[in-house]
Amino acid sequence: MHNRTKTLGEFIIENQTDFQYSTGELSKLINAIRLAAKVVNHEVNKAGLVDILGDAGDTNIQGEDQKKLDVLANEKFIQTLKNREIVCGIASEEEDDFITINSQDENHNNKYVVLIDPLDGSSNIDVNVSVGTIFSIYRRITPVGTPVQLEDFLQPGNQQVAAGYVVYGTSTMLVYTTGNGVNGFTLNPAIGTFYLSHPNMQFPEDGRIYSVNEGNYVHFHQGVKDYIKYCQKEEGDRPYTSRYIGSLVSDFHRNMIKGGIYMYPKSSVTNNGKLRLLYECNPMAFLAEQAGGLAIGGKSRILDVQPTELHQRIPFFCGSKNMVLKLQEFLDKYH
pLDDT digits 0-9 by tens, 138-197: 999 999 888 999 999 999 999 999 999 999 977 899 999 999 999 999 999 889 899 999
331 and 299 Cβ atoms separated by less than 8 Å: yes
Q: Is 123 annotated as a binding residue?
A: yes
Residue 3 has a pLDDT of 46
* Residue 320 CB coordination number (10 Å): 28
Q: Is 320 annotated as a binding residue?
A: no
Residue 67 has a pLDDT of 56
91 and 128 Cβ atoms separated by less than 8 Å: no
Q: Is 230 annotated as a binding residue?
A: no
End-to-end Cα distance, the chain: 53
Residue 160, SS3? strand
What distance in Å separates the CA atoms of residue 286 and residue 166, rounded to the nearest whole number? 15
Q: Is 274 annotated as a binding residue?
A: yes
282 and 303 Cβ atoms separated by less than 8 Å: yes
Which whole number is the average pLDDT over 2-9?
A: 74
| Rounded (to 5) percent helix, strand, coil in the chain | 35, 25, 40
Q: Is 64 annotated as a binding residue?
A: no
Q: Is 55 annotated as a binding residue?
A: no
In terms of Cα–Cα distance, which of 292, 108, 327, 310 is closest to 204?
Answer: 292
Looking at CATH, the fold of the domain delimited by 3-198 is given as Fructose-1,6-Bisphosphatase; Chain A, domain 1 (3.30.540)
Class (C level, CATH) for 209-332: alpha beta
Residue 60 has a pLDDT of 67
Q: Is 258 annotated as a binding residue?
A: no
Residue 189, SS3? coil
Q: Is 95 annotated as a binding residue?
A: no
CATH 3.40.190.80 domain residues, the chain = 209-332
What distance in Å separates the CA atoms of residue 91 and residue 74, rounded to the nearest whole number? 10
Q: How far is CA 245 from the centre of its chain?
A: 15
Q: Is 117 annotated as a binding residue?
A: yes
Residue 43 has a pLDDT of 81
Cβ neighbours of residue 37 closer than 8 Å, sequence gap 6 or more: 133, 166, 172, 174, 187
Q: Is 121 annotated as a binding residue?
A: yes
Whether the per-residue pLDDT at 291 is higher than 90: the answer is yes
CATH 3.30.540.10 domain residues, the chain = 3-198
Residue 1 has a pLDDT of 44
DSSP 123: G
Q: Is 197 annotated as a binding residue?
A: no
Whether the per-residue pLDDT at 46 is higher than 80: the answer is no
DSSP string, 42-85: HHHHTTTTTT--SEEEEE-TTSPEEEHHHHHHHHHHHHHHHHTT
Start-end of H helices in the chain: 8-14, 23-45, 68-83, 150-153, 222-232, 248-258, 282-290, 321-332
